[in-house]
A = this chain, B = another copy of it.
Amino acid sequence: MSDGNPSRSGPTIRDIARHARVSAATVSRVLNGHDTVHPNLRDQVLRSLSALGYYPNGVARSLRTRQTQTVGVIIPDILNPHFAEAVRAIQDTLAVAGYTPLLCNSDRDRGREFADVAALLARGVDGLILASAAEHASEIAACVRGHRPVVLMDRNLPDSPFDSVSVDCQTPTRDAVLHLVERGRRRIAHLAGPQETSTAREKLAGYREGLEQAGLPFDPPLVCFGDYTTSQGEAASELLLDRRPPPDAVICANNLMSQGLLRAIARRGLAVPTDVAVIATDDVYWTVLIDPPLTVIAQPVYELGQRAATLLLDRLRGESGPPRCMRLQARLLIREST
C-alpha cells in the first residue's frame, strides 16, 4: 500500500509549466491573476490549462496561504427549521465570497460542541459561526485556539469578546402577554425553553415583564420548561394543561415545542382560542395551515444568518475593532389563535 494513489489527481501546476514551456511560478501568476504576465505567455498558459484539464489543488494552496476558505458552523440541530433557514442564509452569503461552511449539530451538548470546535479548527477553518450551547463566552474563548474570528449567532452573551447577532424576542413576548390580556385572558402560561440559552431567558423575561405591566401576578406553576424539542414540548404542555384552574392562554418559546403543545391541546379536545389561546414562535409555514391560523412571534431568521455571515466575512477581510453586538427585531404577528 504505502503512498498508494487514492485517485491520481490530474495534472499539477508543474505539468502545465512544462507543457507551456514556462516556470511553475508563471503558471501560478496567471492562475491568480497576479502581476502583469506577458500576454503571449499568458495565452500559452491558458491553452495548456484547458488542454490538460487542470484544476487547482485547494489543499496545497491552503497549506501555503494558511486559509481554507471554509467556515465552521455549529447549530443545535439542522432539523429545526429555524436553524435550517439560518444555515441557508449563511451558505448563500458565504458563497458569494467563495467560502463554504462546515456544518455540525451539537444537539445542545456543550461537550460535543467543544469537540466539534476543536475538530473544525484542526481542519483549518478560517472562522466560526456558533449558535452555542455555552452559557458564558469564556467557555468558548477557552477552546478557540489560533485567534480565529468567531461570530455568535442567535445568542446574546454578556461581556463577550466576539461579534454577535441575535433577535430581540423579549419585547414581542411582552407584547404577546399584553395582547392576551387585552383579549381578556388572565391565566397566561409560558412554555419556556432551556434557561442555559439566552433566547429562552429573554423570552421568560419578556413574559414576566408583560405580566408586571398588566398588573398580573407571576404564578410559577404557569411556567413549564422544555428543551426546545417537540416531545418535551408536548410533555411540558401536559403539565401546563393539568393546572387547576387551567391556563387560558399559552405562549410558546420555540417552533418545535409549539408542535407538541398543539398535539397536547388536540388530545384533550380543547378548542383554540375558545378554551386556550396559543402564541407560537417562528413564522413557519404550517402555522398558517392550522385551524385557526396561529398568532406567532415572527423572527427574521434568514437575516439572522445573513448578518452572522457578513459579520464574519468582515473579520476575514481583516477588519479589526471592538466586538460588534447586533440586535434584530422580532414582532408579534396576530392571527386567529388569540
Q: A78-B78, A289-B263 are in contact. Are A100 and B102 (CB under 8 A)?
A: yes
Most chain B CB within 10 A, of A62, A67, A87, is at A62
- The verdict on A66 contacting B286 (CB below 8 Å), with A79-B81, A103-B91, A122-B55 known, is no
Residues of B contacting A105 with CB < 8 Å?
Answer: 88, 91
Q: Which of B53, B100, B285 contacts A230 (CB 8 A)?
A: B285
CB of A124 within 8 Å of the partner chain:
yes
A78 engages B87 (CB within 8 Å):
yes
Residues of B within 8 A of A55 (CB): 118, 121-122, 145
A65 and B7 CA atoms in complex are apart in Å by 11
Q: Looking at the assembled complex, report how far the CB atom of A52 sits from the nearest CB atom of chain B, in whole angstroms.
A: 12
A193 interface residue per 8 A CB criterion: no
Closest to A61 in B: B122
- The yes or no answer to A68 lying at the interface (CB within 8 A) is yes
Q: How far is the CA of A63 from the CA of B3 in the complex (A)?
A: 12
B interface footprint on A90-131 (CB within 8 Å = 1, 0 otherwise): 010000000011111100000000000011011110100000
Question: What is the CA–CA distance of A58 and B230 in the complex, to the nearest angstrom?
Answer: 38
Contact B58 A122 (CB under 8 A): yes
Look across to chain B and name the residue whose beta carbon is closest to the beta carbon of A105. Answer: B91
Q: A242 interface residue, CB < 8 Å from B?
A: no
The answer to whether the Cβ of A334 comes within 8 Å of any Cβ in the partner chain is no
Using CB atoms, name the residue of chain B closest to A125.
B58
Collect the chain B residues with CB atoms within 8 Å of residue A102's CB.
70, 100-102
Cβ of A259 under 8 Å from chain B: yes
B124, A59: Cβ atoms under 8 Å? yes
Q: How far is the CA of A59 from the CA of B12 in the complex (A)?
A: 18
Range of interface residues on A (Cβ < 8 Å): 35 or more
Determine if B119 and A100 form an interchain contact, defined as CB atoms under 8 angstroms apart: yes
Nearest B residue to A119 by beta-carbon distance?
B100
Q: Does A51 have its Cβ within 8 Å of any Cβ on chain B?
A: no
Whole-angstrom CA separation of A78 from B78 in the bound complex:
8
CB-based contact A67/B146 at 8 Å: no
Q: Which residue of B lies closest to A294 (CB)?
A: B289
A58–B68 alpha-carbon span in the complex (Å): 11
Asked whether A100 lies within 8 Å of B123 as measured between CB atoms, the reply is: yes
Q: Which residue of B lies closest to A67 (CB)?
A: B6
- Tell yes or no: A138 within 8 A of B by CB: no
The answer to whether A147 and B66 touch across the interface, beta carbons within 8 angstroms, is no
- Interchain CB contact under 8 A, A88 and B79: yes
Asked if residues A259 and B88 are in contact (CB atoms below 8 Å), the reply is: no
Q: B81 to A88, Cβ gap below 8 A?
A: no
A67-B6, A78-B78, A78-B87 known; A259-B230 Cβ under 8 A: no
Residue of B nearest to A287 (CB): B286
Known: A78-B78, A78-B88, A122-B55. A146 touches B103 (CB 8 A): no
The yes or no answer to A9 lying at the interface (CB within 8 A) is: yes
| Cα–Cα, bound, A102→B102 (Å) | 6
Report Cα–Cα, A288/B286, bound state, in Å. 11
Binary flags per residue of A47-82, CB closer than 8 Å to B gives 1, else 0: 000000101111110110111111000000111010
Closest B residue to A6 using CB positions: B66
Q: Which of B78, B122, B291 contacts A57 (CB 8 A)?
A: B122
